Structure 1
Amino acid sequence: MSASTAAPARKRWPSSPRRSPPATAASPSPPRRAAWPRTLTYWLENVALHHLRENTHTRYTTCINRYLIPGLGKKKLTKLTAKDVRTWLNQLRTTCQCGARGIDAGRDEPRCCAVGSCCHKLLSPLTLTYIHSVLKSALEHAVREEEIPRNVARNVRTGTPRPRRFEPLTADEARQFLTAARGHRLHALFELALHTGLRKGELLGLRWEDLDLDRGTAAVRRTLQRTSTGGLTTLPTKTRASEHRIALPARCLQSLKHHHEEQQRDRHTAGTEWQHNGYVFTTPQGRPIDPTNLTRTFTTLLCKAGLRRIRFHDLRHSTATLLLEQGVELVVIKELLGHAHIGVTATVYAHVRLRLQRDAIDSLGRALDHP
């Protein structure tokens, strides 16, 4: 059960067959005055395909087919201006998507734009920022290919969207949750999640060879995700910084040792149906756990504990928030979470730090008022 020190070679979309571009896609480089849709298709299928994770590539493709081509498809690449981009983004920002994408017209009983009663289902600022970033990436490639002299999308400002809100567990709620999970076959996973802040895919991608229970460490080397072509697939961690080694608290070490014993009993019970793959957390038959199934289990345990419904990822936020409240330095939390830059940690948990600063200042004020 000792961790090996050699990290596996990083690669993109492992263990899944590489998709062949559709027959209609033009593999050669597009002509200098190519139409905008053809340029986007070329970039997706000949450039982005080899540099993005499969799920990210799928999101890029959806974004381009749903927004960029319908909105800017009639423009020639060389004629595209910053004003065109700004006008298009402003239109997206104020247009009901039920009507623009034909959602309402496709319903059995139209209830929005198709019947003259708009629900004003608008895109969120985060979605608009994402669309803008995909456009900038596509145009940046066109600049490198010398199809256009500059990236006009960089001259357009979309504003800084508010960070996604999260609802971390309080210390009392975390204790309630762990109590409800006690006795569950995945109790060690939830305890590890709350004590280390590992992501869902990182937890499910852990193998016994990554753990050194004698030294009390774990090496985070991969993530387990479901992709459209490969099913459950092992991928490199989200970033290079995410591939790191963490210390395990004594409580987690005890839970993991108990979990290993339980897994051995499952293996004996399953007999020839057991699928040995070395994963720490598996189904009773030894198969990898689907992330969606883990989310269902998590939601059930929240209900059992009488807690409000939160996302699984909020366990990660709970870890960081509780550590900050205990006075742990930001740089230590950054290393534990595997953030590439401390600025990411500082930005995500800025509101927590501000609250702690306010508490500290109030404490100082009380001390000065009442010696």
Structure 2
Amino acid sequence: MKPNTVIHYHAVIHRALKYAVKTDLIDVNPADKVDRPKKNEFTGNFYSKDEMNALFDAVRGSKIEVAVMLTAFYGLRRSEVVGLKWAAVDFGQNTIEICHTVTTVRLDGKEVLVESNGTKLNPASAPCRLYRFSGNGCWPCRRNRKKTASCAVGATTKNTQTTSA
């Protein structure tokens, strides 16, 4: 089990037992005697310039080129790239608005797509993230937009947080 999972389970058990003490079901919370597990420090791995260029060469012209480019330049998560819609790319304002995610979950042995208006960092109630790009900064989008039938340019920018990349 991953350390964060253990921490989560510990917290849930501790809260349940705390409630049992509060409602006089038990006298003492045994979870108080258990130390909270330590969280592992995250160490990110990054591609070198040569590795990035090799990756770009490998995906050039493929269906995943835009997804790889957006992920590389803007640090988007897979669920954010998959959830990206043409309406979120505004070539007039040179912005990409990240508000929508698509993930898969296993439900009764089948993979099901789950769409969400919100991201890991910004749940549905929080504002979207807005990335600005230079005039040519989203060239894969410009090139592939022409290949895509539906393209509603002009994403709304009210109630957004701006991030430059």
Of 139, 144, 147 in structure 2, the residue corresponding to residue 259 of structure 1 is 144
More helix by share: 1
Task: Determine the structure 2 residue equivalent to 1:231.
Answer: 112
Task: Determine the structure 2 residue equivalent to 1:94.
Answer: none
**For the residues of structure 2 that align with 1:149 and 1:242, how far apart are their CA atoms?**
44
Query: Pairwise mapping of residues 285-296 of structure 1 onto structure 2 (< 5 A)?
Result: none
**For the residues of structure 1 that align with 2:137 and 2:99, how far apart are their CA atoms?**
19
More strand by share: 2
Deviations 1:343-364 (A, max 9, x none): xxxxxxxxxxxxxxxxxxxxxx
**For the residues of structure 1 that align with 2:17 and 2:34, how far apart are their CA atoms?**
17
- RMSD over aligned CA atoms reads 3.2
Task: Determine the structure 2 residue equivalent to 1:173.
Answer: 51
8 Å CA contact 1:220, 1:243 repeated in 2? yes
8 Å CA contact 1:189, 1:203 repeated in 2? yes
Letter in 2 for 1:261: K
Query: Pairwise mapping of residues 158-237 of structure 1 onto structure 2 (< 5 A)?
Result: 158-229=36-107, 231-235=112-116, 236-237=118-119
The count of corresponding residues between Structure 1 and Structure 2 is 145
Letter in 2 for 1:213: F
8 Å CA contact 2:14, 2:32 repeated in 1? no
Letter in 2 for 1:263: T
Task: Determine the structure 2 residue equivalent to 1:134.
Answer: 9
- Compute the displacement of 1:130 (Å): 2.1
Q: For the structure 1 residues 194 and 226, does the alpha-carbon distance in structure 2 shift closer, same or farther, using more than 3 Å as the test?
A: same
**For the residues of structure 2 that align with 1:244 and 1:151, how far apart are their CA atoms?**
42
8 Å CA contact 2:94, 2:133 repeated in 1? yes
- Compute the displacement of 1:132 (Å): 3.8
**For the residues of structure 1 that align with 2:79 and 2:65, how far apart are their CA atoms?**
17
Query: Pairwise mapping of residues 31-42 of structure 1 onto structure 2 (< 5 A)?
Result: none
8 Å CA contact 1:225, 1:234 repeated in 2? yes
* Superposed structure 1 runs of 4+ greater than 4 Å apart: 148-152
8 Å CA contact 1:217, 1:247 repeated in 2? yes
* SS at structure 1 position matched to 2:73: helix
* SS at structure 2 position matched to 1:233: strand
* SS at structure 2 position matched to 1:157: coil
* SS at structure 1 position matched to 2:147: helix
8 Å CA contact 2:7, 2:39 repeated in 1? no
Letter in 2 for 1:231: V
User: Where does structure 2 lack aligned partners over 5 or more consecutive residues?
Assistant: 153-161
User: Where does structure 1 lack aligned partners over 5 or more consecutive residues?
Assistant: 1-122, 265-275, 280-334, 338-371
Q: TM-score if structure 2 supplies the norm length? A: 0.69
* SS at structure 1 position matched to 2:131: strand
Q: For the structure 1 residues 132 and 191, does the alpha-carbon distance in structure 2 shift closer, same or farther, using more than 3 Å as the test?
A: closer
* SS at structure 1 position matched to 2:146: helix
8 Å CA contact 2:10, 2:36 repeated in 1? no
8 Å CA contact 2:3, 2:38 repeated in 1? no
- Compute the displacement of 1:180 (Å): 2.0
- Compute the displacement of 1:194 (Å): 0.6
8 Å CA contact 2:97, 2:130 repeated in 1? yes
- Compute the displacement of 1:226 (Å): 0.8
The answer on 1:247 being equivalent to 2:125 is: no
